[in-house]
Structure 1
Amino acid sequence: MRLMLARFALILSLLLPVWFMVAALGVKFDLWSWRLGLGVLIVQWGPRLLIGAFILAVVALVATLARSPRSGWRAALVALIIPVLGFGYLAYVRSQATAIPPIHDIATSPGDPPTYSAELLALREAAGANPVAELSAPLTGLPAYQGPRFATFADRSLGQVGQDAYPDVKTLTTIRSAAEAFAAAAAEVEAQGWTLVSSDPAAGRLEATAETFWFGFKDDVVIRVRSGEPGGPTAIDMRSTSRVGLGDMGANAARIEAYLASLGKRLAGG
């Protein structure tokens, strides 16, 4: 019986990663909504399953070590380690969430951000996505940011909050012409594997949609290539906006930084 208990605890613990993967991939492949996959299956039920597996593993470990023969204790130990690692990861995510402001719209130039076209805004509206707000708007004046939780942001705009949180998200400048920079920017969008929505060389604007691996969350990006004074540098700005969720866990800022870093190398390399 003790060996069977240890094996059952191990099987249950091994099924935990499967539960989380299925919950995430179900959202990606439109088997259920992100509210069910993330909000219910992971956020609500995930910790409960971890606690249940942890308790069962502790009972199995104690039972197998209580008296001879002590067979099955290794299986019980592995069964215990898996939920412990799960708790550790959840604690890490929670700490990251509290350290990052709950925003999902980031731009390199909050004072003069690139704007989305009517075509892309229509795609967002059809998908029931977050509205795209003005980055100059006071954060707590937006409908999603009401209540005492956001009181600390009362004196700052949405763009200022993003700029303070991600100071390394900056405009990329290059000595290349606007036409060369636009061609490189388009090539980098393709290299990133994003879905191109619109390309307007005359306006210097590219729009695309990026998709996350696990949940298939879609974030929209707009890239603006603009030349300055004759003979001066070309400026490349970017904006990345999540379609769902209040906060993005820093994903949009990381996307902009990675894209512009790779684009900078592409421009430098010719």
Structure 2
Amino acid sequence: MDTLTNILRLAIQTLGWILAPLVLVTPLWFLVAALGTKLGFWGYEFGLDWMTLETGPKLVLACAVAGLLMTTLLITHRFVARRWIGMVSLPVLALVVAGAGFAGRYVYDGLSASRPVVLDVTTDAAEPPHFTAAYASRRGDARRSLDYDPSFAAAQAEHYPHLTSLVIEQDASSAFREALLYARDSGWRIGTASDSAGMFEAGAESLMYGFRDDISVRVRALEDGRTQIDIRSLAQQPVHDLGRNARRVEQFLAVMGGEGEAG
């Protein structure tokens, strides 16, 4: 019995030396992947594709397997030696980390499967709000062109039929000011803005991985005194945006139409 107890204790201690750094490294790995991509230390191909989606799940699986194995050894030791050995919290923490990792991947895969790939969302596919040459020159190493891709129009019409031009009972000048205020309150980086032209351009960046989007808003006075508002939001990188740009357009229209609040 003493021999079995010693073997179990040695196995638990050895596994603990492996599991402890694994528990620390796994969440740090995902954090570094996201921050490194956001800060521009590497591209999304490395930070998202390789670090997060390819290598990350292997670390999560290792946490789960090692955590379950150590839990089994600890329970076996408890029945053989009639007492618990230290490090009981370590496998629990490993399983929590693994559970969070599996949950995160489940949510990501679910969003990817349920959201259409519409990287260029506009309320006016026939005449999308445009971007100036000055704004285009400031985009840096954006992977996608600012030219509207009509291939997204059909998918948008099917999945987001409500994202169309907004017509409101308000003069164009005050509507433009409200749209610009909403953009600033939402944290968009305003580029060119012209009240007389009724348009402004802006950029936005996601919290995780720093994926950048380009936004153009157009405000036009109609002959009957009402105002038509159009917006276009497109992803700079050719990566599934999980509906990010469509949500931005939807929220903007809701606020400008009096259905929500800026933020």
Question: Do Structure 1 and Structure 2 share a fold, with TM-score over 0.5?
Answer: yes
1:53 aligns with 2:67: no
The one-letter amino acid paired with 1:116 is F
In structure 2, the residue corresponding to 1:32 is in which secondary structure?
coil
Q: Deviations over 1:162-196 (max 9, x none)?
A: 12122332333221100111111111111111111
How far the C-alpha of 1:77 sits from its partner, in A, is 2.2
How far is the alpha carbon of 1:4 from its aligned partner? 6.2
Q: Is the 8 A contact 1:194 1:208 kept in 2?
A: yes
Structure 1 pair 169–14 and aligned structure 2 pair: CA distance change class (3 A) = farther
Amino acid at match of 1:95: G
Give the match for residue 184 of structure 1. Answer: 178
User: Gapped runs of 5+ residues in structure 1?
Assistant: 140-157
1:253 equivalent in structure 2: 246
1:207, 1:198 → 2: CA distance? 5
Q: CA RMSD in A?
A: 2.4
Using the aligned pairs only, state the percent identity: 27
Confirm whether residue 134 of structure 1 aligns to residue 148 of structure 2: yes
Q: Is the 8 A contact 1:120 1:197 kept in 2?
A: yes
Please report how far the alpha carbon of residue 14 of structure 1 lies from its aligned counterpart in structure 2 after TM superposition.
3.9
Rounded Cα–Cα distance in structure 2 between residues aligned with 1:133 and 1:162: 17
Residue 30 in 1 paired to residue 57 in 2?
no
2:96 equivalent to 1:81 = yes
Find out whether 1:215 has 2:215 as its counterpart: no
Q: Structure 2: how far apart are the matches of 1:21 and 1:169? A: 34
The aligned runs of 1:1-270 (5 Å cut-off) are 1=10, 2=12, 5-6=15-16, 8-68=18-78, 69-71=83-85, 72-124=87-139, 126-135=140-149, 137=150, 139=151, 158-231=152-225, 233-265=226-258
Instruction: Tell me whether 37-46 or 14-23 shows the greater mean CA deviation.
Output: 14-23
**TM-score of the aligned structures, taking structure 2 as reference length:** 0.85
For the 8 Å contact 1:14–1:82, the answer to whether it is kept is: no
Deviation at 1:39, TM superposition (A): 1.7
Name 1:144's counterpart in structure 2. Answer: none
Q: In structure 2, do the counterparts of structure 1 residues 9 and 63 end up closer, same or farther at CA, with 3 Å as the change threshold?
A: same
Distance 2:214 2:194 in 1: 16
| Alignment coverage as a number of residue pairs | 247
TM-score by length of 1: 0.83
1:83 to 1:268, Cα distance in 2 relative to 1, 3 A: closer
Whether the 8 Å CA contact 1:103–1:246 is kept in 2: the answer is no
CA distance in structure 2 between the partners assigned to 1:6 and 1:267 by the alignment: 52
Q: Distance in 2 between matches of 1:239 and 1:19?
A: 35
Q: Which has the larger radius of gyration?
A: 2
Say whether the 8 Å CA contact 1:6–1:57 is kept in structure 2.
no
Determine if contact 1:225/1:235 at 8 Å carries over to the other structure: yes
Alpha carbons of structure 1 residues 7 and 174: separation in structure 2 relative to 1, 3 Å: farther
Does the CA-based 8 Å contact 1:10-1:57 persist in structure 2? no
2:124 partner amino acid: S
